[in-house]
Amino acid sequence: MTQEIQNTTLRNARRLVVKVGSSLVTNEGRGLDAEAIGEWCRQLADLVRDGREVIMVSSGAIAEGMKRLGWATRPHQVHELQAAAAVGQMGLAQMYETKLREMGLGSAQVLLTHADLADRERYLNARSTLLTLLKLGVVPVINENDTVVNDEIKFGDNDTLGALVANLIEADALVILTDQKGLYTADPRKDANAQFVHVGQAGDAALEAMAGGTGSSLGRGGMITKILAAKRAAGSGASTVIAWGREPDVLLRLSRGEAIGTLLVAPTQKTQARKQWIADHLQMRGAVIVDAGAVAKLCGGGSSLLPIGMTGVDGDFSRGDVIAIRDPQGLEVARGLANYASAEARLICRKPSSAFEALLGYAAEPEMVHRDNLVLSR
């Protein structure tokens, strides 16, 4: 059964997101690897000719900028990182355009920030643009817009960006190409007994325990970010493969059903598109704390959050913002769209809906977060 899953997941996928990391794209920081990028573009072209839709999420702008600027180590100052991204993005886009054009394909550069996906209108615009490009047979090449981004709105790493793009376009699969063969039960460089994980379920907490550690000096990822990205991608039904990017014909062999790398299978049920957008928020403006009774009702499924179950309000948020819902210990149990601003929420904590008009001067929704706009976090 394991082999059957491995053989069918990518073989049946019609819409793919492929993510490649900085160390692969820049040959460990020595500059853009034209040969490797050309090989991936050749495979992308074959996939498109096979009737598949493909998006490339590529790291490498900052690393390429560092190379062009003569910097040996990654800077820490935001303005220097932004400058490196601005310099490197020119070469990165040109390289993909050249290699894809050689294969007879058009390309498009798309730069995103979390703010583009946190705002519902911009989210839908980005989705529409990407789907239109795919319909036209153009390969979008996506990167984080590092030239303008700051820590408050960063995705954090391109593994997360790849997962969010997979959710955005409702991809069938996410392929993360990395400098490792896949996931091991422990770091094989330190533990001789480490076993390779061929198949697992995305979101399995045991996988996160296996994948500790950080990335290289060039990137900000590591195996843990890939495991978490697979968990996020699974929310929209996309399974994830983590594989060595220099494996010969890796994308084509995966598409034919060959078992390569680590496959993390998504649960069969997809989250509704609106709820997936809520779940994909990386930053939230605030939170409400709820009592144990409210936690039980929420986790039981199908319940809205009523203000009478709220014990506190954190942060400053407006009506319509995505907020976290936390248990008495401060752990997130759900998130959703607030029907009331934070100032109003503080007034109606522990109050029944019958008291809202006297407290607020008007009576609106009886729920703080309606069940249709609520996503459980655990």
Q: What is the pLDDT of residue 100?
A: 97
Please say whether the dihedral angle defined by the alpha carbons of residues 155, 161, 163 and 165, taken in this order, is positive or negative.
Answer: positive
Element (H, E) at 92: helix 78-102
pLDDT digits (tens, 9 = 90+) for 142-160: 998 877 766 544 566 789 9
Q: What is the largest CA-CA distance in the chain?
A: 70
Q: Which of 21, 10, 7 is nearest to 223 (CA)?
A: 21
Q: What is the pLDDT of residue 153?
A: 41
What is the set of domains in the chain, with CATH numbers? 2-276 (3.40.1160.10), 284-376 (2.30.130.10)
Per DSSP, the residues of 111-170 read EE-HHHHHSHHHHHHHHHHHHHHHHTT-EEEEEE-TTT--TTT--SSHHHHHHHHHHHTT
Residues in the chain: 378
Q: In what order do the strands lie in the sheet with 310-315?
A: 310-315, 286-290, 322-326, 332-337, 374-376
Q: What is the pLDDT of residue 217?
A: 37
Least confident of 40-54, 180-194, 287-301: 180-194
Asked if residue 154 lies in contact with residue 118, where contact means CB atoms within 8 angstroms, the answer is no
1 has a pLDDT exceeding 80: no
Report how far residue 230's alpha carbon sits from residue 328's, in angstroms, rounded to the nearest whole number: 29
Q: How wide is the angle at C-alpha 310 spanned by C-alphas 362 and 304, nearest 5°? A: 75
Q: What is the pLDDT of residue 309?
A: 97
Place of tokens 């074959």: 46
pLDDT digits (tens, 9 = 90+) for 110-120: 999 888 888 87
Mean pLDDT of the chain: 89
Q: What is the pLDDT of residue 150?
A: 60
pLDDT digits (tens, 9 = 90+) for 319-329: 889 999 999 99
